[in-house]
Chain A
Amino acid sequence: MDILFDNLPGLLIAIPLLGAFLTPLLSRAGDSVRNTWVLIITGLSSVCGLLVASRVLETGTIVYTFGVNTVSNIIPPDSGGIPIRIIFTIDPMNAFMLIIAAIVGFCITLYSVSSMEKLSGKDGFFTLVLLLIAGVYGMIATGDLFNFFVFLEISSLAGAALVAYRIDKGVAAEAGLKYAALSTIGGMLFLVGVGLLFAQYNSLNMAVIADRMQLTGLDIIAFVLFFTALAMKCGAVPMHFWTPDSYAMAPSAITAFLVVSSQASLYALFRVCFTLYGGQINPLTVGWVIIILGILSMFIGVTMAIPQKDVKRLMAYHAVSQTGYMLLGVGVGLAALSSTCLSQSIGIMALKGGLFHIMNHALYKGLLFLTAGVIFYRCGTRNLNQLGGLGHNMKWTMVFFMIGALAIAGIPPFNGFASKLMIYESTFLFNPLLAVIAMVVSILTLASFVKVFHSMFMGPKLPEYEDVKEAPTPMLIAMGILAILVVLFGIFPQQVVDALVAPAASALIDYQGYITAVLGGA
């Protein structure tokens, strides 16, 4: 039993990968066998993720080395003090992201088992879903730059293939092409950055590089390559163009997980800024670059969302806008922590707000995309101009949509309000103008979701949707889990902040701790 627990971080990747490649084989035995298999695999990997996270939060950073007998043998004695193997470093920040991926990953599989029921080509679909989940877990858990690149590419390729899975007269293929091509370019430039660092520091391990970082000219180029590649992958304006295209065309469950995959890139962006270049790069400059990207994302995202007619495209623009909040919070955190005239608590609070918003966004945006998926599943259209009066027949979907919409608009007592409050208050002390923009964006978000709510659910029953049915039970359960979490996180925010967010924030700031955890007390 102990050996199982010691190897949990490895199983995190192994279970979904194994599951993915056995899925086409098992689907020969029939649909129900495959569905059970996929559910078991995602359930197991989610449990695995949650267990790893809880262990990390209890006992501190886990460093897992692949291919050694004793798990603690991170640095081979004959290697001169360098970890030469691939290692997974899971500190409370990674644990925080793992929890998000575990929850959303399970919900989307449960949802797609039901939503894919009538469609063909399910073996490929579920194989790709499991690969996407494995890729995202890997991106979150890895402590090795090249390994990160590999998982980034796995998740981008699986994501792009899933975006284009329902060809939809070629339009989905167009979206998939845009996503795949941009991800590839981003990945390649990221790899150039990895090469630049490897050439100087002779290592691919993040902790070793962070320890030896000199900030030469090449390091700055590498930093910019990492920074923009990851900012592009998380959909920051003005590199957000792929986001509405691919989020709108992907099957809804996939979109909900693509949000998590974007946030894994966002996590890596923070890891690069805080840990890899911790204490080296000018925090004020980088902080303000992140803040400006965040403000642009928030404002342009929400204003582009309001006139949209496709409900999922509208929500995708909101995803861009909400990413802006996270960038704003963490950017303010980075800038304020380095400032001598502001108190440290402002920076830490902004950082906590930004990180808490990542978790909240994954939950409510996942919920919203799933409700949009239900609408598409039952009515066959995503065009808001053709929808109406669905509230009479789809009561649960309407309730879930309301919860998600109120949460994204930052209406108390839902979780979006708690994290936005933390961002507003700390940002206001840092720079009042930023807080004002953030609040205006929040109001515009509410306005646009009022529009969506009205045009989908309100009004009299339309003749064409006279006998539209409520969503199937598995889809309702998947949405219900997310909705309950949205409400619970909203009512008890302090508990969540204390248990998950605060350790993550302090782990992100403490780059020395990250280095020490891997290299020992050297």
Chain B
Amino acid sequence: MIDNLPFLVVAITILLGLYAILLRKDLIKMIMGISLLESGVNLFLIALGYRWDSIAPIFTGAPSLAMVMPTVQALTLTSIVIGVATLALLLSMVMIIYRYYRTTDVREVTKLQG
């Protein structure tokens, strides 16, 4: 049961993110939702590689115990970097939109339609 706790947290984070993305009407809050989704996915990857009662995967002078899976940690690191870039890009676009439209309401940012 306790093993699955991280996955429960993952599910809650992802669902909160999706809630913010789908039901919030403010672009900044939607981007916060995207960020929550990213955190949820990152936590999911980390939780996949975690083994109870095991040590960090550093081989130099390590006791012969089970080690935590290092691959997913590398994946998460990459994914965090990508997440930062995405977030910066999205927020800067919202800034530009606000400068010209004077609003961040998603219902008003619809000059392209039809």
Contact = CB atoms under 8 A, between A and B. Distances in A.
Nearest to A160: B89
A249 interface: yes
A177 B94 contact: yes
Given A150-B82, A192-B41, A181 B112 contact: no
B26 to A, nearest CB: 13
A164 B99 CA distance: 14
Given A174-B111, A198-B48, A164 B86 contact: no
A173 interface: yes
Contacts of A175: 112
Interface in B60-114: 71-72, 75, 78-79, 82, 85-86, 89-90, 93-94, 96-97, 99-101, 109, 111-112, 114
B86 A153 contact: yes
A161 to B, nearest CB: 6
A283 interface: no
B78 A150 contact: yes
Contact of B44 (A161, A167, A181, A192): A192
B41 A191 contact: yes
B34 A169 contact: no
A195 B34 contact: no
Given A170-B99, A174-B109, A198-B72, A185 B82 contact: no
B41 A164 contact: no
B41 A188 contact: yes
Interface in B30-67: 30-31, 34, 37-38, 41, 44-45, 48
A174 B41 contact: no
Contact of B48 (A153, A157, A199): A199
B21 A157 contact: no
Nearest to B74: A146
Interface residues of A, number: 35
A244 interface: yes
A133 to B, nearest CB: 18
Contacts of B100: 167, 169-170, 173
Interface in A178-227: 178, 180-181, 184-185, 187-188, 191-192, 195, 198-199, 204
A66 to B, nearest CB: 14
Contact of A248 (B72, B75, B78, B112): B112
B48 A177 contact: no
B112 A188 contact: no
Contact of B90 (A171, A181, A245): A181
Contacts of B111: 170-171, 174
Contacts of B14: 192
Using C-beta atoms within 8 Å of the partner chain, give the interface range for chain B.
20 to 34
Contacts of A153: 82, 85-86
Contacts of B85: 153, 157
A176 interface: yes
Interface string A322-365: 00000000000000000000000000000000000000000000
A440 B111 CA distance: 31
B112 A176 contact: no
Contacts of A170: 96-97, 99-101, 111
B86 A180 contact: yes
A177 B85 CA distance: 13
B89 A161 contact: yes
Given A188-B38, A199-B48, A181 B31 contact: yes
Nearest to B91: A177
Given A188-B41, A195-B44, A180 B90 contact: yes
Interface string B2-42: 00000000000010000001000001001100100110010
B90 A185 contact: no
Given A177-B97, A195-B48, A204-B71, A249 B90 contact: no
A208 to B, nearest CB: 13
A174 B101 CA distance: 10
Contact of A184 (B27, B34, B96): B34
Interface of A: 146, 149-150, 153, 157, 160-161, 164, 167, 169-171, 173-178, 180-181, 184-185, 187-188, 191-192, 195, 198-199, 204, 244-245, 248-249, 308
14 contacts: A146-B75, A164-B93, A164-B96, A173-B97, A173-B100, A174-B109, A174-B112, A177-B109, A180-B86, A188-B37, A188-B41, A198-B48, A199-B48, A249-B112
The 5 closest A-B pairs by CB, nearest first: A170-B100, A173-B96, A177-B93, A245-B112, A153-B82
Given A157-B85, A184-B86, 5 more contacts: A157-B86, A164-B93, A164-B96, A178-B112, A195-B45
